[in-house]
Structure 1
Amino acid sequence: MLIPKKWIIIIVIVMCVMLVSFIQSSQDSNEVDMTIAQEETTVLEDDSQVEQGDVQKEWLVDIKGAINIPGVYHMKEGDRVVDVIETAGGLTDDADSYQVNLAQLVYDEMVIVVPFQQENGEVSSVDMTIDQDKIRINHASVDELTVLPGIGNAKAQTIIDYRDEHGPFQSPEDLLNISGIGEKTLERIRDDIMVP
């Protein structure tokens, strides 16, 4: 028995419609899969950035003098002298806290010497930090840097901008990377600076 021509046409049309529907649903499914994959990638990237951002520098700080438990302590970036004192058991009764900048940010290899009060009420001559006569270029302000020979306000600001952009100086020679600071300037200030 022969199938009428009109039925053949209807069957072909139905098959074409089904084929087009199948292709469209496959494309939609692929787009959904791609969107999900992109979202997962974004989430993974965000997580890795958070993990990397959570990593904090750890610094060793030596605290001594009028302190209950003197010693070397592991501190984090952003900690201050008051945090080190608390970690070290606090000040002794005869400590002179007025001679200590409790708000100062700590840095790696920092030495804090808390002075004792003298019996006559005078403060001992122990300084809070060693090498206090040197400028710590990784922590110095514009005013502190301008004390150095040949360093004016503009150069001091350039040093701070470079430090903010590239991170702490690793050696005095890193100053040579700054425009306007050459070998002669470095030699003039070398004995007056400290890294870190």
Structure 2
Amino acid sequence: MSGKVLRPGVQRLPSGSRVEDALRAAGGVRNGTDVTGLNRARLLSDGEQVVVGGPPGTQPGAPSGFTGPGGGQAGSAMTGGTVSEANPISLGTATIEQLDTLPGVGPVLAQHIVDYRTQHGGFRSVDELREVKGIGDGRFADLRPLVRP
């Protein structure tokens, strides 16, 4: 957890934790921070970064008040920054909403990625992304540096 919280850093939470749980683990929000767009009831994903008080609409799949990417299910630990080569999205844990933020990926293709992950027990390498319906050579070249298995 980062941004305008009292104790930023990685927060290890049990599976099924919500934004409210992460805020509590981070010591709460700093005084004066606008959290009106923050969905405190939203379930968190493993590896997800939550930046409190950042510019609205910059976190994939999250309401204003958050920035940065995230991924998957189970035992949340929020870390990272914005989606980039330095901070790729995990194909093994990302939600449909998070995958939808990648260039050339909409909700249908994001669902295909999640379906492939479910059917094949995850991604062992980024190259497996080529096997997902709807991902050709051009799209794969765009996505390769932005994702990890």
TM-score of Structure 1 vs Structure 2, range by shorter chain: 0.5 to 0.7
Give deviations 1:146-189, integer Å, cap 9, x for gaps. x633x566544322211233344454323123245344431133
Distance 2:122 2:39 in 1: 22
The TM-score with structure 1 as length reference comes to 0.47
Distance 2:108 2:30 in 1: 44
* Larger RCO (alpha carbons 8 Å, 6+ apart): 2
1:113 aligned residue (26, 48, 51): 51
Distance 1:92 1:153 in 2: 34
The TM-score with structure 2 as length reference comes to 0.58
Unaligned runs of 5+ in 2: 55-64, 69-80
Question: Is contact 2:18–2:44 with CA below 8 Å preserved after alignment?
Answer: yes
Question: Is contact 2:96–2:107 with CA below 8 Å preserved after alignment?
Answer: no
Instruction: Tell me which protein shows more helix as a share of its residues.
Output: 1
Question: Alignment partner of 2:11: what SS?
Answer: strand
Question: Is contact 1:67–1:85 with CA below 8 Å preserved after alignment?
Answer: yes
Question: Is contact 2:5–2:30 with CA below 8 Å preserved after alignment?
Answer: yes
Q: Which amino acid in 1 is paired with 2:147? A: M
Number of corresponding residues: 122
Alpha-carbon RMSD: 3.7
Q: Based on CA coordinates, which of the two structures has the bigger radius of gyration? A: 1
Identity %: 27
Question: Alignment partner of 1:161: what SS?
Answer: helix
Call closer, same or farther: CA 1:174–1:87 in 2, change over 3 Å: same
Cα distance, 1:142 vs structure 2:
9.6
Question: Alignment partner of 2:12: what SS?
Answer: strand
Q: Which amino acid in 2 is paired with 1:158? A: H
Unaligned runs of 5+ in 1: 1-62, 117-125
Instruction: Tell me which protein shows more strand as a share of its residues.
Output: 1
